[in-house]
A and B are shown apart, each in its own frame.
Chain A
Amino acid sequence: MADWIEACAVDDVDEEDVIRFDHGGRSYAIYRSPDDEFFATDGFCTHEKAHLADGLVMDDIIECPKHNGRFNYKTGQAKGAPVCVNLKTYPVKVEAGKVMIDIG
């Protein structure tokens, strides 16, 4: 069942960047791609507990700040060692200047 919640304002995230969003005891990462699209994933790297929001966004890749593990933040796909487990992604929509994610 869908459970849309407001994560941030559109302007809170720079282009080709990521911010952290905490809700209900969980951490999420909200991305804005170079094409001005928004995406959301779990906030922690699947390798070790590091906030992806401290990492680097390059095109459609998020690189973890701890061990430089890389994921495609659009699909959640792990791109090789040291990350082997895919990242959970969440549906995103933009309404009235707000970024909404479906955590249901």
Chain B
Amino acid sequence: MANKRDYSLVGESTRRAIETGLASAEWYHTDVARKGMKELMQRSDGPAIRDTIIWIAAILGSAAGIVWFWGTWWVVPFLFVYGVLYGSSSDSRWHECGHGTAFRTRWMNDVVYHIASFMLMRNPVQWRWSHARHHTDTIIVGRDAEIAVMRPPDLIKAALAFTGILDFRYSLPTLVRQAFGKLSDDEMSYIPEMEQHKAVIAARWHIAVYVATIAVAIALKSWIPLVLIGLPRLYGTWHMVTTGLLQHIGLADNVIDHRLNTRTVYMNPISRFIYWNMNYHVEHHMFPMVPYHALPKLHELIKHDLPVPNPSMWHAYREVWPVLLRQLKYEDYYLKRELPPTAKPYRGEFHELDITAAAAE
């Protein structure tokens, strides 16, 4: 009988992960010569400046369209574009700039990181640390603060995620609580003590901007300020969820090989622009130093050692759906990704038992 998963970061699963050596473990990496890796890791401002100019221009252009066409049906396509740029592509900008890999120049990463964090209603300090933990202990139950779909999966919750309602309902009260100086036990487990006051200050800034936005909306007797600031987190979040859920859903947990718990999916160029190439997710987790614009090259270099990518998002969801249904009954079940013959096999230690169990289901 399998142990029930405890997803808190200070509970039974946490204790077990530390005891068994799953926490802060040595992860598998595909062999890449230092010279090649150095070239891939090189930073440059050019690609991110170009993409950021396009991004900001598209945000401002679609915002202007919303204001201009407000009150007519012509506003709908502008809302569609603005929503995705604000509520979805901010996630990849937050992510890449949080790693400090988008731009070579540090302050450029920091500026975009803070803007994107605000758009996402994410505390920039808290989430920097939660994401560091996500990379240390990817999908290790009781350690990873960013597991999107827990087991057994709550399919209604997963479906509602596409509307942004649950995230909104979580993120805004979280910022309010933090603005009052209260961090949860989970948050304090991964934000070092010396950084915790910064999380409180950041939350206060975010709340101050939202209060100002509401005040402007009331003063103007108009919904437009809220449609432009805050509400896109609801109506524009669907693309972030569509792409982001595929990163780890249905795959193994409590393993130390990203090939087992992370998924690479080929995507169309528009989604890749919005997502900043995070569809190459196994590659990103294995080598987080490689900037988004070099991930396709990294993929070509190491794909012989990785499971075959899903050819499309549609293919990936079709593959995941039966796994989720099965996890409703057997939460230990997961999709085992087959490796090509050119790949190094999965290591034993933490993986053999899980794989055997899954195969036996």
Binding site for B on A (CB under 8 A): 17, 47-49, 54-56, 58, 63, 65-68, 70, 79, 81-82, 84
Contact = CB atoms under 8 A, between A and B. Distances in A.
Interface string B43-65: 10000000000000000000000
B43 A58 contact: yes
* 7 nearest A-B pairs in the assembled complex, by CB-CB distance: A82-B132, A56-B41, A67-B132, A68-B100, A68-B99, A65-B289, A81-B128
B135 A66 contact: yes
B125 A68 contact: no
Given A66-B135, A66-B136, A84-B195, A55 B24 contact: no
State which size class the interface on B falls in: 20 to 34
Of A17, A49, A55, A82, the most chain B CB neighbours within 10 A belong to A82
Mostly, the A contact residues are loop
Interface string B73-104: 00000000000000000000000000111001
Given A54-B37, A68-B101, A82-B132, 8 more contacts: A17-B38, A55-B289, A58-B43, A67-B288, A70-B106, A81-B125, A81-B132, A82-B128
Nearest to A16: B38
Interface in B123-141: 125, 128-129, 132, 135-136
Contact of B288 (A17, A65, A70): A65
Nearest to A17: B38
Given A56-B41, A67-B135, A84 B194 contact: yes
A63 B99 CA distance: 10
Interface string B166-180: 000000000000000
Contacts of B128: 81-82
A57 B188 CA distance: 32
B96 to A, nearest CB: 11
B191 to A, nearest CB: 9
Given A58-B104, A81-B129, A84-B195, A68 B24 contact: no
A48 B192 CA distance: 13
Contact of B195 (A49, A68, A70, A81): A81
Contacts of A79: 106
B137 to A, nearest CB: 10
